[in-house]
Chains A and B, each alone.
Chain A
């Protein structure tokens, strides 16, 4: 049978792949294109996948689109870096600015489950003060969210993903016990611990979204170390094996290999559905609400590519902020070699962490914070780092690579400040669908550079204290993507409100890392998922109050074709 996930949609004819059983299928509800569903969700990653699950479980009709394939991890995933580049978003993009970003493998997923299929599983809560960083800490922008409410949503996500974490977490207000025990430390993590202890700061086992004990049909992590190239054993709790199966069971439809190219706006200025490309042709799915969850590049790209005569600057863009305030996180590293064998390729790459510089405010000459973690690069990534960041080639490269099993490193996830000049715009060139491609412009500000300098000095001391020699610094690397459709309390200075609802078009929502006003110094996936859970609760509450189209809900009325097609008004 011809079964190529990259070229043939798998979720169709009333079924979707069962990711837990080789060759297996699970039933899937399907909706007709002319049937207006309550919610079309564009993207199935940390934002869209989570929201699809929650909304379907609350009784809404949901179709979630993903431009990428519907993988079966147990069968499709090789233990091979080159093969697994199939997980990344590698459609054409242009990067510029003073510090052009690395995209693709670095931060962009194209699959059902989105970037969570290849994320490093590091699952951290924001520092509470970051939700009010302008007011409390004097930089960036305030979020319209209260940290105490977010604390409960973090708990929900940690339970849903069975996060494996330490018994007590050294920083921040109390949090519940992590559902699963922490993973053991590998040698690279022990080096981090030793450095922290020598310098007198706390460290802990990293809370990770990979299971340390069995869960249903998934086995505990076997420490194969290919986490960021896709987990072939389902230990990793990606959206693909957590939220998406729940979404299907609750009646959502997943449409894979379906690229949404434009959101349609009706005569009343409300969105009425999405134009999407699947099976070599364009189709139109009707919807009462559209949620954009394509991450911080594809989300603004879609909003900008959907411009109409009425919304000439793109949808939801009366503030002019769509695409602006793109924030990555600094991802600099210090590397060295140990006399001991480290073999950091074993286990999840970041088993130990310190958030000391996220929570300490003294001794800093910069705003914001950073965490740093132990590292476990696989050979291609490591060789590319030695070549591009260390400048080695020829004999020196090949010889240095022979130290691979002795390498140890520390790497930050650092807060970068929002700047309107770092942004996503549309280039004139088009992609394989005929859609204008994104131009991603990025430049570090002085504060970003001071944070990086501070971290590199500190980590150099820590790595030396751990016994590493021949230290060198990787100066130019960045990771996650956020911003470009920030949330706020004021329609003039934000794109969506606290409920991820656009100020301009009441039935258009944005639910992914794009809505972050600031990024903090932690990996964003847990916060994106917590926001999605909150958004689902808010949508349910609004629907109950009649602020959405109550009669559109499955629980109160059967889905009928057109009688309820008028969209809600706020």
Chain B
């Protein structure tokens, strides 16, 4: 794993940047407005998962993409639930892996079974450290409860759990703000392409000691 010592651990690299401030401007076409509005309207009630499954998924998502409590939460579990409800598929799966819906159901039940075996508690009831331990063991292929069936726990972890959770999180405007991405860009696009060049409708990065300057700039992004 790579050395991140050079990285500043900051909560807010792009203070006060809000990609949604551009939604009525020339960087968003009508189709994008419609699609993002629908995504933002998703509530936290599951349509595909049963309540217990949804609870387990919510707990897993909190370990894979932890969110600061200080800002609006991305409804990761609900985003995955909607995708499964609508039947959206990757279009391929490893031999031995069931299709998306079945893989998720089976994987969540298996992780709950593993939690009971190891800690006599459902996954959602474990401490963060215990949850991480089970997830690390899934990642390494070291879980063997019969609930997994023909599906290897490492395949479920990498190809379903991690994949779907990460895609859900970074499909949300709040995550786009966090990483300072320009967001939707049709039809306006971009003009300044070179190093350290920023179009006025892009996020300004906070240099150490100049956070309020960046925040002021970002409040004018449209």
Contact = CB atoms under 8 A, between A and B. Distances in A.
Given A388-B163, A395-B66, A190 B195 contact: yes
B171 interface: yes
Nearest to A395: B66
Contacts of B185: 79, 222, 224-226
A83 interface: yes
Query: Which size class do A's interface residues fall under?
Result: 35 or more
A265 to B, nearest CB: 30
A396 B4 contact: yes
A215 B180 CA distance: 33
Interface string B36-65: 100100000000000000000000000111
Given A75-B31, A222-B189, A470-B6, 9 more contacts: A78-B35, A90-B90, A94-B92, A95-B92, A341-B195, A387-B162, A390-B1, A397-B64, A404-B179
A560 interface: no
Interface in A99-150: 100-105, 108
Given A96-B95, A387-B162, A398-B65, A78 B2 contact: no
B104 interface: no
B171 A380 contact: yes
Given A345-B182, A392-B1, A405-B205, A340 B92 contact: no
A394 B63 contact: yes
Interface of B: 1-4, 6-7, 9-10, 13, 27-32, 34-36, 39, 63-66, 88-95, 99, 132, 135, 158-159, 162-163, 166-167, 169-171, 175-176, 178-198, 202-203, 205
Contact of A341 (B7, B158, B205): B205
Contact of A90 (B91, B178, B180, B202): B91
A346 B183 CA distance: 10
B179 A394 contact: no
A97 to B, nearest CB: 9
B193 A439 contact: no
Nearest to A472: B2
Nearest to B175: A379
B59 to A, nearest CB: 13
25 contacts: A75-B31, A77-B186, A83-B32, A92-B91, A92-B99, A95-B94, A101-B92, A104-B92, A184-B193, A222-B189, A223-B191, A223-B193, A224-B188, A232-B186, A233-B186, A341-B196, A379-B175, A393-B63, A396-B4, A398-B178, A400-B7, A401-B175, A403-B7, A404-B179, A404-B181
A182 B193 CA distance: 14
